Amino acid sequence: MSTVNTVVLGPQDRSRRTGWWGMVLLIVTEAMIFAALLSASFFVRANSASWPPAGIEPPDLGRIGVFTLVLLASSVPLFWGEAAIRRGQVGRLRVGLAVSWLLGAVFVINQVLEFHDLPFRATDDAYASLFIVITGLHGLHLVVGLAMSVVVQLKAALGWFDARRHETVTLFSMYWHFVDIVWLFVFASLYVSVRW
């Protein structure tokens, strides 16, 4: 009986397994959800006399600008930690995950506080509904990401990962980077573009 011709794979190739493809496709369909929501926002805006509606100030850019940087910064330690585990450095992975988690949590806390400071409620008009539901859905994705991070951190603490076996880390960081990038689109559409 012949043996199967097995190709020797590097660590990067091994991560392009079923899980990698599954996460890519999940991200595709999630991206479509945000694309649909942002398109909806532009569609309603294009059919409105003024945007935001008269009497509502566009959101302040200073505060959210700072926290946008915080959110983007949360991807950096994750890159660093993931690069470390590829060399088998579990300690650095744990640090990277923890710092990234903290930065993400800071952003979420600011979002919650900002919601309280908003001069409108989701039930006021279509503008308010769109703003709150889109930023809220993004925030929900972050909360899910933070929860996923806790699971990954627990696995890291228990010493499950090594240079070859860390698919969960790869998949989680793909998701986290995606949610970060989506924020740039949400930020550009709901905060920046309304000033023009």
Partner 1 sequence: MTAVVADHERIERAWRDRPGLLGFFTTVDHKRLGIRYIVTSFVFFFVAGLLALVMRAQLARPNGDVVSPDAYNQLFTMHGTLMIFLFNTPVLAGFGNYLVPLLIGARDMAFPRLNAFSYWIFVGAGVFVSASMVIGKAPDGGWFAYVPLTGKAASPGINLDFWGLGVIFVGISTTVGAVNFLVTAFKLRAPGMTVNRIPILVWSYVAMAFMILFAVPAITVSAALLEADRLFDTKFYVVEAGGNALLYQHLFWFWGHPEVYILFLPAVGMVTTIITTFARRPLAGYLWQVAALIGIAFISFGVWVHHMFATGLPTTAMGFFSAASFVIAIPSAVLYFSWIGTMWGGRVRFTAPMLFALGFLLIFLIGGITGVMVASLPFDLQVTDSYFVVAHFHYVLNGAVVFPIFGAIYYWMPKMTGRLLSDRLGRWSFWTMLVGFNVTFGPMHVLGELGMARRISTYGNGLGWDTLNMIVSLGSVVFAAGTLMTVVNVAGSLRHGNPAPADPWGADTLEWSIPSPAPEHNFTTIPVVGSRHPLWQLDEDGEAIDGPAGPGRRGTPITGGLDTVHEDELVVPQPTALPALAALGVLVFFVGLLISATVVLVLGGVIGLAGLVTWGWRTDVDRPEVAT
Which residues of this chain interact with partner 1, rule CB under 8 A? 1-7, 9, 13-14, 16-18, 21-22, 25-26, 28-30, 32-33, 35-37, 40, 43-44, 47-48, 53, 122-130, 133, 147-148, 151, 155, 160, 164-165, 167-168
Which residue's CB is nearer to partner 1, number 37 or number 118?
37
Which residue's CB is nearer to partner 1, number 83 or number 151?
151
Which residue's CB is nearer to partner 1, number 67 or number 94?
94
Contacts of residue 121, Cβ cutoff 8 Å, sequence gap at least 6: 128, 132
CB atoms within 10 A of CB 169: 24
- Where helices occur in 47-157 by DSSP H, the ranges are 61-73, 75-86, 90-117, 126-157
Q: Please report how close the Cβ of residue 129 comes to partner 1 at its closest, in angstroms.
A: 4
Q: Please report how close the Cβ of residue 53 comes to partner 1 at its closest, in angstroms.
A: 6
The residue among 41, 9, 2 whose CA lies nearest residue 187 is: 41
Distances (CA, A) of 97 to 17, 51, 87, 89, 190: 23, 40, 16, 13, 29
Q: Please report how close the Cβ of residue 64 comes to partner 1 at its closest, in angstroms.
A: 22
Q: Please report how close the Cβ of residue 69 comes to partner 1 at its closest, in angstroms.
A: 29
The residue among 186, 148, 193, 178 whose CA lies nearest residue 68 is: 186
Which residue's CB is nearer to partner 1, number 72 or number 133?
133
Which residue's CB is nearer to partner 1, number 89 or number 168?
168
23, 171 in Cβ contact below 8 A?
yes
Which residue's CB is nearer to partner 1, number 32 or number 76?
32
Q: Please report how close the Cβ of residue 103 comes to partner 1 at its closest, in angstroms.
A: 23
Q: How far apart are CA 109 and CA 153, in angstroms?
A: 20
Distance from chain centroid for Cα 31:
11
Q: Please report how close the Cβ of residue 112 comes to partner 1 at its closest, in angstroms.
A: 18
